[in-house]
Amino acid sequence: MGILEKFTKGLGVGKDMNLEDAMDSVEMENVDVLHEAADFYVKPISLESEADVSVIMEELKAKNIILLNVSPMSKQPNKLKQTIDNIKAFVVKINGDVARIDADKILLTPSKVKIVKNRKK
């Protein structure tokens, strides 16, 4: 079981469940996802070009957690490896963390946020 699966299972969210099943209509009316202020965010970003690296770095500097989709660049393995190496170097420099979730997803955290990578049995 991957990290994301454990996280969603712990929240009681399954693959077949949609957001409206998880929240009733009264809760949905009181939640303003786009305008409600938060200290930090979990942001999905697709890695389509090297230009996306600067966006990733800015988001990590802002203390946001990145769920990085690398599949758009997977057809260029050399470019993907070099770009991921650059991102990893930046994450190490800011004392963040990196973990692969699956073949197409990588979790990036800002400084002082660590990912538990060992699996308890």
What integer pLDDT is reported at residue 4 of this predicted model?
A: 56
Domain that holds residue 5: 1-37
Residue 52 shares a structural domain with residue 76: yes
- Going from the C-alpha of 73 to that of each of 1, 14, 28, 33, 58, the distances in angstroms are 26, 28, 36, 29, 20
Q: How many CA atoms lie within 13 A of 111 on its CB side?
A: 8
What is the reported pLDDT for 26?
47
98, 106 Cβ separation under 8 angstroms = yes
Tell whether 85 and 98 lie within a shared domain. yes
Positive or negative, the Cα torsion across 69, 97, 103, 20? negative
Say if CB 106 and CB 91 are below 8 A apart: no
Q: Are residues 81 and 30 in the same domain?
A: no
pLDDT value of residue 37: 81
| pLDDT for position 103 | 92
CATH number of the domain to which 47 belongs: 3.30.110.150
Predicted local confidence at residue 35, as pLDDT: 66
- Residues in the chain, pLDDT under 50: 13, 25-26
Q: Say whether both 67 and 51 belong to one domain.
A: yes
Whether 82 and 119 map to the same domain: the answer is yes
Query: Which alpha helices (H) appear in the chain, and where do they start and end?
Result: 3-10, 19-22, 25-30, 52-61, 77-93
Question: Are residues 13 and 64 both part of a single domain?
Answer: no
Is 1 in the same domain as 25?
Answer: yes
Going by C-alpha positions, the residue among 73, 68, 69, 67 that lies closest to residue 49 is 73
The pTM of the full predicted model, rounded to 2 decimals, is 0.69
